[in-house]
Amino acid sequence: MTKRKTLPKGVDLIDGGLMEIGDFLGYKTEMNRGPIKRDKSGVYPLGTGPALKAESRYAYKAHYTFRAEGKSNGADYSDRLMQFDYDKFNRCCKEVWDNEGQYFDLNSRSPEQIERFLQLYYEDDEIKLIDIIEECNASSGYPVWCFRTFSPKWDK
């Protein structure tokens, strides 16, 4: 008999692009490896479930660190925002946090602050932060964050 492990309550996971909770920007998402076999109780057979950050510090699966009500119509990765406009990224960080850090963990940056950062970056005060997904960059082992947002301007 295969041993099983239960995921912590409230943890939603993504595996290879598959969001267990539904869709991404209105598109059903099934990429790369396909769905993980999981029963209705949320239990994965041992060895088949995604690694949590506590289990695998440099090769963990994506997980939500923040979720709000509402649908999103935009998404950006923290490293891409910096790559697209390095100076603007640093200016916005300086204005919100008084530093140019690249970590968006909730111990050092609140969802409200991250939302303000995105509003400054996009010059759009109507942007609402819907959720934050933390992943591990497979090429470097460093964390990267995906910010899913909603703006009425993008819905036109």
Beta-sheet strands, E only, within the chain = 4-6, 13-15, 18-19, 23-24, 27-28, 43-45, 62-67, 74-77, 128-136, 143-150
Tell me the domain boundaries of the chain: 68-155
pTM score > 0.85 for this model? no
Q: Of 150, 136, 152, which Cα lies nearest the Cα of 63? A: 136
Q: How far apart are CA 148 and CA 113, in angstroms?
A: 15
The reported pLDDT for the residue numbered 126 is 95
Q: Calculate ∠ Cα 122-26-35, nearest 5°.
A: 120
Q: How far apart are CA 49 and CA 47, in angstroms?
A: 6
The reported pLDDT for the residue numbered 136 is 83
Q: Would you say 124 and 151 are in contact if contact means Cβ atoms under 8 Å apart?
A: yes
Residue range 96-146, pLDDT digits in tens: 999 998 999 888 899 999 999 999 999 999 999 999 988 888 788 889 999
Q: How far apart are CA 17 and CA 31, in angstroms?
A: 5
Calculate the average pLDDT of the chain: 73
Q: Is the pLDDT of residue 21 over 80?
A: no
Residue range 58-67, pLDDT digits in tens: 667 777 888 8
